[in-house]
Amino acid sequence: MHETPPPKERRSRKRLTADDWADAALAALAERGLAAVAVEPLATRLGTTKGSFYWHFSNRDALVAAALARWEELSTERIISAMEAAEPDPEARLGALLRAATASAAEDPLEVRLLAASDHPMVAAALARVSERRVGYLAHLFELLGFPPPEARRRGVLAYTSYVGHAQLAHAVPGSVPADPAYLATVTAALLTR
């Protein structure tokens, strides 16, 4: 008796979204910089073809724009929303935000890579938007703590530049910036001193 072999199982492949491509672009950017955002290596990384890329994007610039928008959403808007939902006290929220952002920046090189690519017009524009949003949010927290708007803005800038400097130094000279909570508590306390 001759048995018919079972039909070949189709390899089930998840249909990729534009966000999947943007996330892969951000991962490549974090690992090797903006030059690493290239269609063929990303297709290989995602286990797909260039056709999938062209289904979602007209060219590399469109992917870079989508990746930057994704970074803005994930690294700024979602974090602000989560902080607003999780912590009603502005001082506690400020401390939690500085701790979380500083710890994340020390581990993830994406922000440092983006700063290094600030000569690219799309990256420069995204950095400007994100920086303004973050400084504005920090200033808002300082206003909630009773600082007048101009002083709240100055402290928001100081807090943000402290974060950016911390991130850059943590990647440029590993181990040079304290990672312990006491250090960040001191930074927060200094920002709150009247």
Taking residues 162-171, what's their average pLDDT? 92
| Residues 105-150: tens digit of each pLDDT | 888 999 999 999 999 999 999 999 999 999 999 999 999 999 999 9
**CA–CA distance, 136 with 69 (Å, rounded to integer):** 18
Is the pTM value of this prediction over 0.85?
yes
Q: How many CB atoms lie within 10 A of CB 84?
A: 11
Q: Quote the pLDDT of residue 52.
A: 93
What is the crossing angle of helices 149-172 and 181-192, to 10°?
160
